[in-house]
Amino acid sequence: MKRMKIIVALILAACLIPGMAMAELKLAKHIDSLKLKGDLRVRFERHDQDKDANNAPGTEDTNNPKDRLRSRFRLGAFWKAPDEKWEVGAGLCTGKHSSTSTNDTWSYRESAKKSETFDSGDLRLDYAYAKHSLNIAGLKKANIILGQQKNPFQTSWLLWDSDVRPAGFTGHADFGMAFVTLGVYDFIQNDNDLGMMTALQAGAKIKNGNISFLGALTGYFYNNTPFLDDGGPPYDFEYLKDANGDYILDADDRKIPVSWDDSTEYKYNIIDLYGKVDIAVDKKVKISPYIQLFTNIGADGDKGEGYLPGDLEPDSENMGWVLGVKAKINKASFKLSYAQVGADSCIPDLKNADFGSSLNDGVNVKGAVVALGYKITKHFSTELTAYLYEPLTDEAIYTEDGLRKTDQRNMSMYHIDMKYKF
């Protein structure tokens, strides 16, 4: 691992330091250009997790805010072969293996017994794709993308985290006012089978003077997707115990269900509707209201047979939506949104990781997001963001000790970001 870090550092130095290697850099004859771009974000984060809200009355309050410093570094390189009409793009980023985070936490504390002083984090592959441009009569633009790529679908910040990189094949056709995007992706490895996602999006782009509209209807369909530790819904939450009343664990330290009900056809088949309007008041003022509604039409089963246990019914918790507005006034920016995410409305491993991150894997959550930003220079800006959220429904849930309680937690998380683009 240390040798790999040295090799990566040398490659970065050769590409980034002017005068050191750029003068000797030669491209293949069929490559027209090599473009490098990236960004660095340094963040202070405070998260009030409100862990004691569900404790019995009179219980000592031990809740403390969680503070941490984090950074995100991303570097992308893009090779273009115009005569052959293809482009290859590859990127590096900080972070671990999570698909929804490219953050590195400074001096990361892995456990209560071990911490890493001045931990420098890791670099990993962010994306690597090939894009082929196609000339098709009647189409303004058409292309095919192969590999791990940035999200090709029109969406808001909620349903897809901006760090998610779908891996597979995408076809895109732009008719001018209308567009269609079709994708097939290797979502997750399920033993010897591939867990696949198939997606189809159809949309329209309309512009009239200083007003632009974008709307899109999308279907995301999944198969072979074991999302839960116990194998996935449906299941009950009665677990095997020994003579002493302790849970019996399997080889992977997971609790073992007493019984299993596989009669319910629970699936993730998500229908998504997204719309955005851009209003350019003048060259320095732009207002962009947007709305997104999504529902998992595959959610099915009785109470406790969905993603979360307790008294939640999957087909009653299958909706999610967000309503928001973005505004830019000269160098200042403002964002305000309100969102609700049902427990069975989407896949927790893909949705925005910050909103509701400490509540039920980010589902069964509602709340607001407020952000204020300012562009100090053309490529250097700062932003303050507040995430304020709570359970969407506080119906009885199972806690870690097996007791049924209502969920009374209120969470808040704050980010102070310094952003650099290069």
- Euclidean distance between CA atoms 81 and 133, whole angstroms: 10
Give the three-state DSSP class for 315.
Answer: helix
- Which pLDDT does position 10 carry in this prediction? 44
With residue 328 as reference, give the H or E element that holds it: strand 319-329
Domain hosting residue 219, numbered range: 2-108+117-421
Residue type, 312: L
> How buried is 76 (Cβ within 10 angstroms: 0-12 exposed, 13-18 middle, 19+ buried)?
middle
Q: Which residues of the chain have pLDDT under 50?
A: 1-4, 6-7, 10, 14, 17-22, 227-232, 234-237, 260-263
Q: Give the list of residues 6+ apart from residue 41 with CB closer than 8 angstroms, or none.
A: 71, 72, 417, 418, 419, 420
Residue 227 backbone phi and psi in degrees, to 5: -85, -25
- Beta-carbon count within 10 A of 119 CB: 14
CB 195 within 8 A of CB 386: no
pLDDT given for residue 2 in this prediction: 47
Q: Which amino acid is at 422?
A: F
CA distances from 234 to 260, 302, 318 (A): 8, 9, 14
Q: What is the pLDDT of residue 230?
A: 40
- Overall number of domains in the chain: 1
| Residue-level pLDDT at 23 | 53
CATH for 389: 2.40.160.10
Q: CA dist 383 to 67, 334, 414, Å?
A: 17, 9, 11
The neighbouring-strand residues paired with 367 are 339, 389
Counted residue by residue, the chain has a size of 422
Q: Give rounded-to-5 percent helix, strand, coil for the chain.
A: 5, 50, 45
pLDDT at 407: 76
- What is the spatial distance between Cα 241 and Cα 255, in angstroms, rounded to a whole number? 9
d(CA 398, CA 410): 18
Report the alpha-carbon angle 161-213-281, nearest 5: 105
Q: Residues 317-350: pLDDT tens digits?
A: 999 999 999 999 999 999 999 999 999 999 998 9
Q: What is the pLDDT of residue 367?
A: 97
Cβ atoms within 10 Å of 166's Cβ, excluding its own: 26
Nearest in space to 277 (alpha carbons), one of 285, 286, 268, 269: 286
Q: Residue 327 has what DSSP assignment? A: E
CA separation for the pair 375, 373 (Å, rounded): 7
Judging by beta carbons within 10 Å of its beta carbon (0-12, 13-18, 19+), is residue 310 exposed, middle or buried? buried
- For residue 327, how many C-alpha atoms fall within 13 Å in the half-sphere facing its CB? 10
**Lookup: tokens for 2:** 């240390």
